[in-house]
Amino acid sequence: MTDKDCTMPGTCHWGESKVALVTGSARRVGKAIVSALHKHGYNVVIHCNSSQAEANALCGQLNGARASSAHVISGDLSASVAATAQRLVAEAQAQWGRLDLLVNNASLFFLTPLENATERDWDRLMDTNVKAPFFLTQAAAPHLKATKGGVINLCDVIGEQASPPLTIYGISKAALIMATKNHAIELGPEPHLPRPPPPLLQEWLSRTPLGRIGTAEDVADAVVFLASPSSSYVTGSGITVCGGRSLRL
């Protein structure tokens, strides 16, 4: 499950490659995300902690396909979280002088039965799965605003449906889902209002984080995605094409 909390642009109008920072991207899902973004023209910043060898190998592979298009940064997202987040974002942005996309993929996952869960278990899961994405988003926000970029958080159905003994993990993912919803409102663009706007339109846009009225093409794009091979593992769930309006009370 992925949640997106602000708008990703299309291709850069001035010919530069867009830049994505993907946390925990040396292996598994993160590696697949980095590879897919790279295939679609992004320059990619591969973040790792202990998987330095795998990250370097992936970086070499991607740079072999397109020169100077991948870079590795490292850091432990469970230690000095806010400071580490600031450093990682600064290093990622400095590599090509821009940042268009932050993908919060890094995550811990282990069982925590109530009878023997520890405070250390709680801290490890919450720091990596919630605190790190929060402070990475905070650090990245000014750079993403400059490029009209976006944040994608990798969430989980276990954040919506109870699944003990993955209890603390589920709590952490539920918190990340809520952080995504709040950041979508906080980081959304200013509404595009005509002068003078009709009262109903003004009220509608004020409650729509993306700040614009949706189009038929927005719905059509979602249909094309669902009809494509890219959605082959999506079933029984919906895509809410509403500019974020459903997030507000």
* Catalytic positions: 169
Tokens of residue 237, six digits: 């769930």
Query: For residue 152, what is the enclosing H or E element?
Result: strand 150-154
Which helix (H) or strand (E) covers residue 104, if one does?
strand 101-104
Greatest CA span in the chain, whole angstroms? 61
Residue 225: CB atoms within 10 A of its CB come to 12
Compute the distance between CA of residue 159 and CA of residue 177 in angstroms, rounded to an integer: 7
Helices (H), the chain: 28-39, 52-65, 81-96, 119-126, 132-147, 167-186, 199-206, 216-227
- CA–CA gap between residue 105 and residue 108 (Å, rounded): 10
Residue 123 CB contacts under 8 Å (≥ 6 apart), including other chains: 78
Query: 246 φ, ψ to 5°?
Result: -70, -5
Contact predicate 31/51, CB 8 Å: no
